[in-house]
Amino acid sequence: MQANSENNVPIDDIFRWIDELNQIGASLSSEQNISVLLETILISAMSIANADGGTLYRIVDGKWIKFETLRTESLGIAMGGTTGKEITFPLIPLYQESGQPNDSLVVANAVLKDCTINIRDVYEAEGFDFSGTRKFDERTGYRSESFLTVPMKNHEQEIIGVLQLINAKDRKTGEIIGFSAVDQNFAESLASQAAIALTNRQLILQLEELFESFIKVINYAIERKSDYTGKHLERVPELTMMLAEAANDADEGPLKDFRMTERDRMELRIAGLLHDCGKIVTPVHVVDKSTKLETIFDRIHTVEAKFGSLRRDAEIDYLKGVMASPERQAELEDAYRKTLVQLDEDLAFLQKCNVGGEFMNDADIARVKDMAARYQVDGKNLLTEEEIDNLTIRRGTLNAAERQIINDHIKVTIEMLEALPWPNRLKNVTEYAGGHHEKMDGTGYPKGLKRENMSIQARMMGIADIFEALTACDRPYKKGKTLTESLAILGKFCLDNHIDPDLFDLFVRRKVYLQYAKAFMKPEQIDEVDHSKIPGYAM
């Protein structure tokens, strides 16, 4: 077998290390978890150089060196990385308080001078401070000898970390030897690959953080327009993820095969955060319309002013009548008093109508229309057609045109999301976010999708969106409902084939509603739920 004469390393071993280095490079490129990545770098370097120990450091803010993961095989020490054992050693400063380089420490020296430092025996080395190493040896009985310290530089030649190996071992005898030139070359090559892999992963994480921050900025802009909508954008993703985790944990039933990876979770959470981003273009007076007559201001005050005019006219008519027929004063006064009482009752009725409710019956609608024509103010009907249309809204506070404006937010949401160049790992965000107003029977909007045309995630988001709206206490037009009330309404939606029955069953059976309630609902809303009385739920 041929050997490298300079380092007495068999050629076969060199080829094996090259192959191992290539495999490590491929592994580093595919690793997503930074803790695992750092640990892999250190373990791989120790394997190639047959080192007993090692430490991987990262540069922090260009001023500090931080311990990330360390190992000493003969002592059974493993800290940082994926071990779960936190490294409590303090940061190593690159510069002293005076501003002078802290180059007496070998790891700092390697960074400051951008060079690999290969020391055969630290007890014989000069020019470096190894007092900490000696204290460690005294405390543990270890004998630190050979050190190989390699800066890790990214593609921009910026040093982002340091790889340090300790105590190379002879592969035959196990004796502690110095790190050879071949060891150094391989360690430097690995450090270079590792730095690029680490930088790439950091860049990906930074882009993900930037993207999530951008989402939060959009939601913040919506919240500044409408505080309750901003809270809705926070709560719906939370409830969606609670339901998704319950489905992920299911080991029986229709959802037993539903499973999520961390990527799947991230994709669904982003969709939840963006599900109402289209509301950024919805007018505030529509989003926050708290009464039926509200626009920029509540026009019930205009109606109240008209009733003031009616009282004034009634008083004038009464006084004119008395002046014309003094003998009829008692009769006229009695009629005048009855008119005032009737006016007060009718105004109170309109004020009540102005407050949105669950249902307005036909008799009340007819009374509004009759009143509008019966009373005249300055020769005109008491109420305009537009005021009649608003005061006779059967449910809530939005008229048909305003309801359409609200509904259009989902179209804008889809348009906004479709305009983004989503990476493959987030390719389903638009479908998840854009489907939360669809119904299982195809009567939803904007696309009229049926259950079989929708992903499970989009169906989850539909349930979360409805339940959050029912229980929310910050809506300007209604009070938050109790758990029993909300589940009864949700159950009716299930019976009407509006929401997914399997997910509704899971939502109730696994008490996802209670998990959400404890986190986001007021104590007085959290009542005792009788599952047997929930419509659409089969116990």
- Residue scoring higher pLDDT (10 or 133): 133
Which residue from 176, 142, 146, 163 is spatially nearest to 74, judged by alpha carbons?
142
For the chain, domain boundaries: 3-203, 226-283+402-533, 300-383
pLDDT at 363: 94
The answer to whether the beta carbons of residues 263 and 366 sit under 8 Å apart is no
Closest CA to 293 of 226, 184, 393: 393
Torsion sign, CA atoms 416, 418, 420, 424 = positive
Per DSSP, what are the bridge partners of residue 80?
69
pTM for the structure as a whole: 0.65
- For residue 82, give the DSSP letter: T
Place of tokens 């409590």: 88
Q: What is the DSSP letter of 227?
A: H
The per-residue pLDDT of the chain, averaged, comes to 88
Residue 339 has pLDDT above 90, yes or no: yes
Confidence (pLDDT) at 522:
94
CA gyration radius, the chain: 37
- Whole-number pLDDT of residue 415: 92
Q: How confident is the model at residue 25 (pLDDT cuts 50, 70, 90)?
A: low
Comparison of pLDDT for 10 and 69, the residue scoring more: 69
DSSP codes of every residue in 431-456: HHHHTTT--TBS--SSS--BGGGS-H
Q: How confident is the model at residue 483 (pLDDT cuts 50, 70, 90)?
A: very high
CA 217 to chain centre: 12
Over residues 280-332, the pLDDT tens digits come to: 887 777 766 778 888 877 889 999 999 999 999 999 999 999 999 999 999 99
pLDDT score, position 513? 97
Measure the CA–CA gap between 332 and 321, rounded to whole angstroms: 7
d(CA 444, CA 515): 28
| Greater pLDDT, 12 or 117 | 117
Residue 244 in contact with residue 507, Cβ under 8 Å? no
The mean pLDDT value for 526-530 works out to 95
State the pLDDT at residue 32: 62
Q: Dump pLDDT digits (tens) for 499-511.
A: 999 999 999 999 9
The pLDDT of residue 515 is above 50: yes
Distance CA 422, CA 419 (A): 9
177 burial type by CB count under 10 A (0-12 exposed, 13-18 middle, 19+ buried): middle
Q: pLDDT at position 81, please? A: 85
What is the architecture, at CATH level 2, of domain 226-283+402-533? Orthogonal Bundle (1.10)
Sign of CA dihedral 359, 461, 526, 478: negative
Residues 56-111: tens digit of each pLDDT:
999 999 999 999 899 999 999 999 988 889 999 999 999 998 999 999 999 999 99
Which of 118-122, 287-291, 344-348 is predicted least confidently? 287-291
| pLDDT value, residue 337 | 95
Distance CA 161, CA 80 (A): 15
How high is the pLDDT of residue 4? 37
Taking only the tens place, the pLDDT of each residue in 148-194 is 999 998 878 889 899 999 999 998 899 999 999 988 988 888 888 77
Q: Do domains 3-203 and 226-283+402-533 have the same CATH topology?
A: no
Higher pLDDT, 480 or 450: 450
Region of residue 448 (left: phi > 0; alpha: psi -120 to 50; beta: else): left
Residue 400's pLDDT band (cuts 50, 70, 90) = confident
Residue 5 pLDDT exceeds 50: no
Per DSSP, the three-state class of 79 is: strand
Dist. CA 12–CA 507, nearest whole Å? 61
CA distances from 122 to 55, 144, 508 (A): 16, 7, 66
- Give percent of the chain with pLDDT exceeding 70: 91
Burial 313-352 (b: 16+ CB within 10 A, else e): ebeeebeebbeeeeeeeeebeeebeebeeebeebbeebee
pLDDT digits (tens, 9 = 90+) for 425-474: 899 999 999 999 999 999 998 999 999 999 999 999 999 999 998 998 87
SS3 (DSSP) at 539: coil
| Contact (CB, 8 A) for 146 and 120 | yes
Mean pLDDT score, 44-60: 91
Query: Does position 476 have pLDDT exceeding 70, yes or no?
Result: no
Superfamily of domain 3-203 in the CATH hierarchy:
GAF domain (3.30.450.40)
Write out pLDDT tens, residues 253-270. Answer: 999 999 999 999 999 999
- CA-closest candidate to residue 143, choices 129, 158, 122: 122
In the prediction, which pLDDT does 19 show? Answer: 63
